[in-house]
Chain A
Amino acid sequence: QKEVEQNSGPLSVPEGAIASLNCTYSDRGSQSFFWYRQYSGKSPELIMSIYSNGDKEDGRFTAQLNKASQYVSLLIRDSQPSDSATYLCAVKSRETSGSRLTFGEGTQLTVNP
């Protein structure tokens, strides 16, 4: 079983629509959850962090966390063509002393004008 699993892409949405990205994780001890955006050939760029159950909103982005279900998601409202990128879910376990991030393989999002 993969440690961090993301819904397989690619995901294509029209401009202005809501894009929904999902992630599940296997380690129940996970404490911190992050969404990164990665454009082709570039480094991961932090979009959102979430640490407790529920929703967290930042502009057009909403992260949702459900620790009981070991599930974290990212909603992008009013999607723009500039949102086209690969979205990486990353998880940090309190069990590891060095606080490594474990990444999923990413979901490629395309927003069509």
Chain B
Amino acid sequence: GQNIDQPTEMTATEGAIVQINCTYQTSGFNGLFWYQQHAGEAPTFLSYNVLDGLEEKGRFSSFLSRSKGYSYLLLKELQMKDSASYLCAVSYGYNTDKLIFGTGTRLQVFP
């Protein structure tokens, strides 16, 4: 079966750093995505990890350990607008990179 786990909710303070963890067990693995989604809107691409290690992109960084089935998204210098759901998704498949999503982590940033 396919299983992707993330914490349901997290809270943090403006200007702080927050780490959102994701563990996965899937029948295949091509890569791991992180998306940001505001309620009722489309998921916005944040990062894509294929190899083990850390990918840094501005205030956002994403880490992957394929052997451990583990990833995290690190958000630095939090801003109020970062309040959203963060979706961890694994792409898998032979002829395609269909995504299977975790249930998402709702992050609330307080002043």
On whether the two chains bind one another, the answer is no
Residues in A lying within 8 Å of B, measured CB to CB: none
Residues in B lying within 8 Å of A, measured CB to CB: none
